[in-house]
A = this chain, B = another copy of it.
Amino acid sequence: MFFESAQTAIARHASGTITPPAVPTLQSLFGRQPIEKFEAGKAILWEGDDASHIFEVTEGVLRVFRILGDGRRVITGFLYPGDILGVSLKDRYLYSVEAVTHAQVRRFGRNRFQEEISRSPELRPQLFSRLCDEMAAAQDQMVLLARKSAEERVCSFLLLTARRMKVDRQTAPVIEIAMTRLDMADYLGLTIETVSRTMTKLMSRGVIVPSGRHGLKILKFAKLVALAGDSDEEDKTGSGYARQAIWPN
């Protein structure tokens, strides 16, 4: 599977003897870069900054967001280990990025990154594929924000989180919600009160139950899917999600 193999390559690099992987992956580019650590709440980059670097998340969760003039915040996405940050860029970053939890990233100069990309016919389709995934996620989010109710939004978010953690839906999966209610609200276009109320309702209906500090056990997966609203969508959980890259060399 695409993501797995990339992760494995990283792991090899991080631990022992460093040998270039047989097929270069986007992540393998970052393998030799030093790890940078950020505590929760610290900024990795700011909207409007000179877009000088590309980042790979190696640990933790990040939030990507923009702020309206009067302080309204919109979180456009969360980043997890294995995600790459700053790929879709102009000459300045389009958004700010902060650590939600303690987090680690590797950094790669943009010019060098672009050289590598233009040199390598293996890397290019991977990069295209990433951008397309990002676009697909953005469109899902537009659908959510434009037409879904509060409950549908929260359920969609829980399912998205479950998907990112690659849980299998059979065994009452436990997901970790690393972010605060405020982060969730700013991601879902709601208020913290509405998020809280909706979560409470889902718990009282036995769809989910708390599980430890930030954990949530999904008791009724099918119910959650139904409540998420996009009934026509294919099943995106599991291996079907990581499709072959369609872009040629």
Name which residue of chain B comes closest to A143, CB basis.
B74
Pick from B74, B88, B114, B121: contact of A135, CB under 8 Å: B88
The verdict on A248 contacting chain B, using a C-beta distance below 8 Å, is yes
When the two chains form their complex, are residues A249 and B118 in contact, meaning their CB atoms are under 8 A apart?
Answer: yes
* Pair B145/A142 contact, Cβ less than 8 Å: yes
A138 contacts the other chain (CB 8 A): yes
Rounded to whole Å, the gap between the CB of A194 and the closest CB of chain B is 13
Does A4 count as interface, using CB distance less than 8 angstroms? no
Residues of B within 8 A of A72 (CB): 147
Per the bound structure, the CA–CA distance linking A66 and B244 in Å amounts to 23
Please determine whether A114 and B248 come into contact, CB atoms closer than 8 angstroms.
yes
Q: Which of A89-146 contact B (CB under 8 A)?
A: 89-91, 94-95, 111, 114-115, 118, 121, 124, 128, 131-132, 134-136, 138-139, 141-143, 145-146
A65 → chain B, closest Cβ, in Å? 10
Expressed in whole angstroms, the Cα–Cα distance for A90 and B236 within the complex equals 14
When each residue 70-81 of chain A gets 1 if its CB lies under 8 Å from chain B and 0 otherwise, what string results? Answer: 101110100000
Which B residues are CB-close (under 8 A) to A136? 88, 90, 94
In contact, B232 and A69 (Cβ under 8 angstroms)? yes
Contact check, B118 vs A76: say whether CB atoms are below 8 A apart: no
B68 in contact with A229 (CB, 8 Å): yes
The 8 Å CB contact of A90, one of B121, B231, B246, is: B246
The 3 closest A-B pairs by CB, nearest first: A69-B231, A146-B189, A145-B145
User: CB distance B145 to A94 under 8 Å?
Assistant: no
Asked if A248 contacts B118 (CB within 8 A), the reply is: yes
A90 touches B132 (CB 8 A): yes
Interface centre among A73, A95, A138, A230 (most CB of B within 10 A): A138
Does A247 sit at the interface, judged by CB under 8 A? yes
Q: How far is the CB of A63 from chain B (nearest CB, A)?
A: 13
Cα-based distance from A143 to B47 in the complex (angstroms): 14
Within 8 A of B (CB), among A220-249: 229-233, 243-244, 246-249
A–B pairs, 24, beta carbons within 8 Å: A67-B232, A68-B147, A69-B229, A69-B230, A69-B231, A70-B231, A74-B142, A74-B146, A74-B147, A76-B143, A90-B136, A90-B246, A91-B246, A94-B136, A118-B249, A124-B124, A131-B131, A131-B135, A138-B139, A141-B142, A142-B145, A145-B145, A145-B146, A145-B189
With contacts A139-B66, A232-B69 known, is A246 near B89, CB below 8 A? yes
